[in-house]
């Protein structure tokens, strides 16, 4: 059993660390926010006051933070303190360049690194049913997999360093855009007099079908579990969708890729966020398209 330091015990990190503890791992968590440490401790995660304390001698370091800057900061501080050859796993969603930089500083410190951002949200973190999209050398991926399996249901090797983040950003680009296309169609149908139920019935078995429609329908009724049925309570926050689309735009600019729909979608989510939707589920963007936000 490895000694695991888990840094970043927020909405996602706390339940993920608790799942490692529940699976019998020896975990020490830490977060710079005292409240986050207290909430994680209440879930059974032993906590240290500082990342340095948690990371001293750790064989595995997991980070679940908000930005590339934070990941690089924590990794720089813990690389000299962790055990020789330690495995550093970053589960945060961050920009591809920072992820690759994190791999480089780990390599320079003779540690192993993997970027392993997740899909599945807070519900998936609690249920240990997350999907991990991993970027690493094959050997590092196979070392990390049994640990990730304690927090998730699908552990995917997407390629070398940074390509887990690339997969996550490309996936969320598809999600962000298809949600807007789906919402736009429902708003149009409403204006023409086509009921949401009739459009759903037709599109769900036709070529308009997507996850945004059949698992996360942006209007109440057709999919009872979707956030639309509870006034767009999250779910997946609009601000987080916006963050991911902006990361995708940055990656596109750096790679010279053309992503006009990503840019348009980011604008619409930004507008929805500015008009009161920031902390609502991203599918509530339909309110903008209906002129209701
Ligand atoms: P969060 O803001 O709830 O948690 C992040 C935690 O990191 C905070 O508690 C913060 O205090 C801590 N932190 C920041 N800098 C630190 C440092 N230097 N040292 C120690 N602790 C530090 O965020 P979250 O919702 O848990 O998301 C974490 C990551 O997962 C983000 O990158 C997010 O984009 C991604 N993500 C979130 C969701 C979701 O539904 N919430 C879904 C998929 C991916």
Is domain 3-161 in CATH 3.40.50.720, yes or no? yes
Q: Determine which one of 26, 145, 150, 168 is catalytic.
A: 168
Torsions phi, psi for 204 (to 5 deg): -65, -25
**CB of 92 closer than 6 angstroms to any ligand 1 atom:** yes
Closest listed residue to residue 122, CA positions, set 19, 42, 8, 12: 12
Ligand 1 atom closest to Cα of residue 73: 18
pLDDT under 50 in the chain at which residues? none
**CB of 131 closer than 6 angstroms to any ligand 1 atom:** no
DSSP 62: E
Radius of gyration over alpha carbons of the chain, in Å? 20
pTM of the model: 0.96
The two tokens of residue 35 are: 């409240």
**CB of 11 closer than 6 angstroms to any ligand 1 atom:** yes
**Domain coordinates of the chain in residue numbers?**
3-161, 169-289
How many angstroms separate the alpha carbon of residue 208 from the centre of ligand 1? 34
Q: Is the dihedral of CA 208, 214, 216, 217 positive or negative?
A: positive
Residue 168 designated active-site: yes
- Distance (Å, rounded) from C-alpha 143 to C-alpha 26? 17
Partner residues linked to 131 by β-bridges? 119, 154
Q: What is the CATH number of domain 169-289?
A: 1.10.1040.10
Please, are residues 112 and 85 in contact by the beta-carbon 8 Å criterion?
A: yes
- Distance (Å, rounded) from C-alpha 287 to C-alpha 293? 5
**CB of 152 closer than 6 angstroms to any ligand 1 atom:** no
- pLDDT tens across 180-230, in order? 999 999 999 999 999 999 999 999 999 999 999 999 999 999 999 999 999
- Distance (Å, rounded) from C-alpha 140 to C-alpha 151? 17
- For tokens 């009724």, the residue is 221
């Amino acid at each position: 059993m490895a000694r695991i330091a888990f840094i970043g015990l927020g909405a996602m990190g706390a339940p993920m660390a608790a799942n490692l503890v529940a699976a019998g791992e020896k975990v020490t968590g830490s977060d710079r926010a005292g409240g986050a440490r207290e909430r994680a401790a209440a879930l059974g995660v032993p906590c240290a006051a500082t990342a340095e304390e948690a990371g001293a001698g750790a064989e595995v370091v997991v980070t679940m933070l908000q930005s590339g800057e934070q990941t690089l900061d924590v990794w720089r501080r813990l690389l000299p303190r962790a055990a020789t050859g330690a495995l550093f796993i970053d589960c945060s969603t961050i920009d591809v360049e920072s992820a690759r930089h994190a791999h480089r500083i780990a390599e320079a410190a003779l540690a192993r690194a993997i970027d392993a951002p997740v899909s599945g949200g807070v519900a998936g973190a609690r249920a240990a049913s997350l999907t991990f999209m991993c970027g690493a050398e094959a050997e590092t991926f196979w070392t990390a997999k049994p640990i990730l399996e304690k927090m998730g249901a699908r552990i995917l090797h997407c390629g070398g360093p940074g390509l887990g983040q690339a997969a996550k950003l490309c996936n969320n680009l598809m999600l962000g855009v298809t949600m807007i296309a789906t919402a736009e169609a429902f708003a149009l149908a409403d204006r023409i007099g086509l009921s949401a139920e009739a459009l759903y019935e037709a599109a769900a078995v036709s070529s308009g079908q997507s996850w945004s429609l059949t698992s996360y329908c942006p209007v109440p009724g057709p999919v009872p579990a979707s956030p639309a049925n509870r006034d767009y309570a999250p779910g997946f926050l609009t601000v987080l969708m916006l963050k991911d689309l902006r990361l995708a735009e940055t990656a596109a600019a750096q790679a010279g890729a053309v992503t006009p729909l990503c840019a348009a979608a980011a604008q619409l989510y930004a507008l929805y966020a500015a008009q009161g939707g920031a902390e609502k589920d991203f599918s509530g963007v339909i309110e903008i398209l209906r002129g209701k936000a």
